[in-house]
Amino acid sequence: MYPEDMKPDFSCRQFYPCYSLHRLVTTFLLALALAGSFQSIPAVAQQQPVPSDADTTKEPEAKSGGKKVLATIIQSRSTNSLPYTVAIYGDGSATAKISGARTGIRSLPQQSPQPSPRLQEFPPGTIDIKTLRHLLTEIQDVSRIPTGICPKSVSFGTRTRISYAGKTSGDLQCVREPSAGADKTLLQTSEDLSKFVQTTLGELKIDAHLLGR
């Protein structure tokens, strides 16, 4: 109908409304895409677990293998030995933690940092856990163990205590008969526990001696 050079151009380039409609549709689709992205952000945030107090308290337990401490023996220092503790676990294993420097020189805190405690590990079955559990169950509250003052060397004397169920005993080296009318069974069990602890420490041979002493 039209000559070749006179054909009308019906493309959007010739019609501004068509061009405006194209831009409007493009802008609308882009807005929808952005709105969907912003709405998905809270959902992703909600999927991230928030650490709870329960998770925090479980972490140290996992590091120690989940073992529970039955009792802890506490040994004081002397002129030629360092203080240490022995944590006894339910499977008969134990961990001794020895504090202080082995040189025997007590430097002031401001002069040099204190050394980290040394550890000695003992495998399961090392401790007679059945006997220890029986004695502790009989006594229940170890702070009731009758102790007193007993003669010791001023330089080399030590104190041995035990902690169990949130209670700590007096010096197990000085178990003494209580006043008249007191529980004789408690005295006997306390003496048995004292012997058990001293024998156990002797068998463990904990390296707490100061060098050069």
What 3 state SS string does 152-196 have? CCCCCCCCEEEEECCEECCCHHHECCCCCCCCHHHHHHHHHHHHH
Q: Helix or strand or coil: residue 70? A: strand
Length of the chain: 213
Instruction: Give the torsion sign (CA, 56, 62, 67, 69).
Output: negative
Q: Helix or strand or coil: residue 12? A: helix
Strand order of the sheet with strand 118-122? 118-122, 94-98, 84-89, 69-75, 160-164, 167-168
At 59, the pLDDT band (50, 70, 90 cuts) reads very low
Measured CA to CA, the distance from residue 43 to residue 108 in angstroms comes to: 56
At 159, the pLDDT band (50, 70, 90 cuts) reads very high
Which stretch of 3-7, 60-64, 103-107, 202-206 has the lowest confidence by average pLDDT?
60-64
User: Can you name the residues that pair with 98 across neighbouring β-strands?
Assistant: 84, 118
**Which pLDDT does position 210 carry in this prediction?**
77
Q: How crowded is residue 196: how many other Cβ atoms within 10 Å of its Cβ?
A: 19
What percent of the chain has pLDDT above 70?
60
Contact 159, 171 (CB under 8 A): yes
Q: How crowded is residue 186: how many other Cβ atoms within 10 Å of its Cβ?
A: 17
- Give the residue, 17 or 33, on which the prediction is more confident: 33
Rounded mean pLDDT of the chain?
Answer: 76
Q: At what angle do helices 184-204 and 129-139 cross, to 10 degrees?
A: 150
